[in-house]
Amino acid sequence: MRRDLGWTGPEDADYEPTPAEPTFTPAATPLPSRPPVEYTPPEAAPEPPREPPSRPASQRFGPPPGTPRDTGPLNRPDGSPQWTAQPGWQGPPPPQHQPPPQPPASRPSHPQGPAPGQQLHPGWAGGYPPPGAQVMPPPPTGSYADRIRADQLVPTKRTPPGSGWRKLLYRATFGLVNPGQSPDEIQQAAQENRIRSVLRGHYKIGVMGKGGVGKTTVSATIGSIFAELRQDDRVVAIDADTSFGKLGSRVDPKAMGSYWELATDQHLETFADVRSRVGNNAAGLFVLAGEASPARRRVLDPAIYREATARLDRYFTISIVDCSSTMDSPVTQEVLRDLDALIVVSSPWVDGAATAGQTMDWLANRGLTGLLRRTVVVLNDSDGHVDKRTRAILAQQFAGQGQAVIEVPFDAHLRPGGVISGTRDLAPATRRKFVEIAAALAEHFPTNDDRHRER
């Protein structure tokens, strides 16, 4: 094989011949070269990217080299000296496409003032935030202890129901299921809270009406409601009926005192001294009785009434005055001078309603419009034979004049001649109506000094 390849040396030698250098013979005519695969004609070739001019390391972060161009003064936002162009900076290249300028957002040229609780920032122009700026709310006022409220942290417990199926369910489940009070119970609780609201000074309520409509009964019952719900105050009922009033016998038949003993006693220094001249019932209502005995008939005059009530005002907060049926009597005129509210009692019949209307007309003609605004009309069913249609028409007519009208149903516990020792024995519907009357009167409680308020 070596011989075939031109080997002339010994067969057992490891000698390898040196390969000869290849020789190339140029062609007479040069052949055209084949273009590369990714070749692009010159007319469609893209422009090669421009390389940024190289700059020395000392100007790596400065402006590009070249001759600087004047672009006008450059002012700082805070009004400090102008910027100066660095040497060799030519400025930014002109933009290829510039969008049209947008109109600035409209802002009030003359701000009316900061929002409530908003603080002006010294870094803002004019102290007002720019459009879109997030304004933080002002910090809460008060101490940390004031902001910790127990009603927000401790869950409130429902008041157990007092009647109806809610009470039956509450008892059947041994208190595990408490549906809460009914809407009527919630409304009555709100009215009782209104009766217990703050009262400053004295508050005198007059009760007027035709004889036989239950005027004395309403006086004793309303007084008992106030006495039961305002146990921190003393409540007294005053009999100002000059025609043998019966208020003392309806509250405390054993009451021995009268106007004349109270007005002429020169040793009334404590409440215990006054207590011996008035009576009281189980609800805590005190009563100043009138002259009930015809054997020693003494006529009540305005001077005696004024002196006796002035002494009672030192120890009693609320007074319920049972007025006479005669509007023009001197004592009634004296009573009206000092009233804060008024109850006009009417029967649910035409004759009683007509008398109540005449009473209110009489007050309006005397210029007592302020007292009329604090007047409550009570349609009292004293015998249980009321016509519901007639009662509804009368209630609508009185309410059309702007008066509060409350209808009291018949209750056997309020029969004529009986002693009213409290309101716990009344029917729930009847007691609810009297609570509503007292709440309507309590809306006009004075909350400040009452010595100069309008009567």
The residues with which 205 forms a beta bridge, in sequence order, are 320, 341
Residue 62 lies in a domain: no
Residue range(s) defining the domain that contains residue 185: 157-195
Q: Are 230 and 222 in contact (CB under 8 A)?
A: no
DSSP per-residue letters across 181-210: --HHHHHHHHHHHHHTS---S-EEEEEEE-
321 and 213, same structural domain? Answer: yes
What's the number of domains the chain is made of? Answer: 2
Instruction: Give the separation between CA 393 and CA 286, rounded to whole angstroms.
Output: 37
Report if residue 80 sits inside a domain: no
Contact 256, 290 (CB under 8 A): no
Asked if residue 134 is part of any domain, the answer here is no
**Whether 169 and 310 share a structural domain:** no
Domain boundary among 180, 195, 210: 195
Cβ atoms of 159 and 181 closer than 8 Å: yes
**CATH assignment at residue 290:** 3.40.50.300
CB burial of 298-323 (b: ≥16 within 10 Å; e: otherwise) equals eebeeebbeebbebbeebbbbbbbbb
Q: What is the pLDDT of residues 292-334, one digit of tens each?
A: 666 666 778 899 999 999 999 999 999 999 998 888 889 999 9
The DSSP H or E segment spanning 442 is helix 428-442
Give residue 110's pLDDT: 46
- Distance (Å) of CA 337 to CA 343, 407, 450: 15, 28, 14
- In the prediction, which pLDDT does 176 show? 86
Write down the pLDDT at residue 178: 84
In DSSP terms, 378 is beta-bridged to 345, 406
- The answer on 266 and 232 residing in a single domain is yes
pTM, full prediction: 0.65
pLDDT at res. 6: 59
Clarify whether residues 390 and 244 are in a common domain.
Answer: yes
Q: Which long-range contacts (CB under 8 A, 24 or more apart) does 386-395 make?
A: 386/348, 386/349, 386/410, 387/348, 387/349, 390/348, 390/349, 390/350, 391/348, 394/346, 394/348, 394/353
**C-alpha span between 322 and 246 (Å, rounded):** 10
Q: For residue 273, what are its two tokens?
A: 């001294």
CA-atom Rg of the chain in angstroms: 51
- 335 with 358, same domain: the answer is yes
| CA–CA gap between residue 153 and residue 286 (Å, rounded) | 44
Question: Please, are residues 243 and 325 in contact by the beta-carbon 8 Å criterion?
Answer: yes
Cβ count within 10 A of residue 43: 5
Distance CA 227, CA 196 (A): 10
374 plus 261 within the same structural domain:
yes
Q: Is 453 within the bounds of a domain?
A: no
Token pair for residue 138?
A: 């002002």
Return the pLDDT at 170: 83
191 and 204 together in one domain: no
| Residue 235: per-residue pLDDT | 96
Residue 302 lies in a domain: yes
Q: Are residues 275 and 171 in the same domain?
A: no
CB within 8 Å of 253: residues ≥ 6 apart: 419
Residue where the block lists tokens 């508050």? 203
pLDDT per position as a tens digit, 26-59: 555 555 555 555 555 556 555 666 655 555 555 5
Tell whether 305 is covered by a domain: yes
Nearest-angstrom CA–CA distance, 234 and 228: 10
Which H helix or E strand runs over 312? helix 302-312
- Cβ-proximal residues to 41 (8 Å cutoff; 6+ apart), any chain: none
Which residues in the chain come in under a pLDDT of 50?
109-110
Tokens encoding 261: 């003993």
Do 174 and 282 lie in one domain? The reply is: no
* Same domain membership, residue 216 and residue 204: yes
Same domain for 283 and 340: yes
